[in-house]
């Protein structure tokens, strides 16, 4: 069953703008992860935020987690054309740490 749901499904912005993607999930989690997938390639892990954390930064990435609303957001600041990709959130289902359940992703296009 699907745990995470990203919003919007697609996002098109200009280079230099910020991109914000959201993820909502259904059950309690230990952590939430964001991955990036370039077209036709495998996924690459970007960042993991634990349930006791509210915000985390990595370079131009900022992730927030609101466990009361069961939601997370990924902010990419000062976007570049090379950021064009699909972005997925993933969570381990309750009680199961060996497997991640992914959402359908947000397709981000950054126009030069």
The answer to whether residue 8 forms part of the interface with other proteins (CB under 8 A) is: no
Q: Which of 61, 67, 101, 109 binds other proteins (CB under 8 A)?
A: 101
The answer to whether residue 65 forms part of the interface with other proteins (CB under 8 A) is: no
Shortest distance (Å) from residue 66 CB to other proteins: 20
Q: How far is CA 56 from the centre of its chain?
A: 12
- Give the count of residues interacting with other proteins (CB under 8 A): 23
Rounded to whole angstroms, the Cα distance separating 34 from 22 reads 10
DSSP characters over 46-104: EEEEETT-SEEEETTEEEEEETTTTEEEEEE-S--GGG-EEEEEEEPPTT--S--EE--
The answer to whether residue 59 forms part of the interface with other proteins (CB under 8 A) is: no
The answer to whether residue 102 forms part of the interface with other proteins (CB under 8 A) is: yes
Q: Which of 25, 34, 35, 87 binds other proteins (CB under 8 A)?
A: 35
Q: Which of residues 70-89 bind other proteins (CB under 8 A)?
A: 88
Query: Does 8 sit behind a cis peptide bond, omega within 30 degrees of 0 on the bond before it?
Result: yes
State phi, psi for 25 to the nearest 5 degrees. -135, 170
Shortest distance (Å) from residue 97 CB to other proteins: 5
Question: Which residue lies nearer to other proteins by CB, 6 or 83?
Answer: 6
């Amino acid at each position: 069953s699907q745990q995470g749901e990203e919003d919007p499904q697609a996002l098109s912005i200009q280079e230099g703008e910020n991109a914000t993607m959201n993820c909502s999930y259904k059950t309690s989690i230990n952590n939430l992860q964001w991955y990036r997938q370039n077209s036709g390639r495998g996924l690459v892990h970007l960042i993991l935020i634990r349930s006791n954390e509210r915000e985390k930064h990595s370079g131009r990435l900022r992730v927030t987690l609101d466990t009361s609303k069961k939601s997370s957001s990924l902010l990419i600041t000062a976007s570049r054309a090379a950021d064009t990709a699909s972005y997925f959130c993933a969570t381990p289902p309750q009680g199961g740490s060996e497997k991640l359940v992914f959402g359908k992703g947000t397709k981000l296009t950054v126009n030069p």
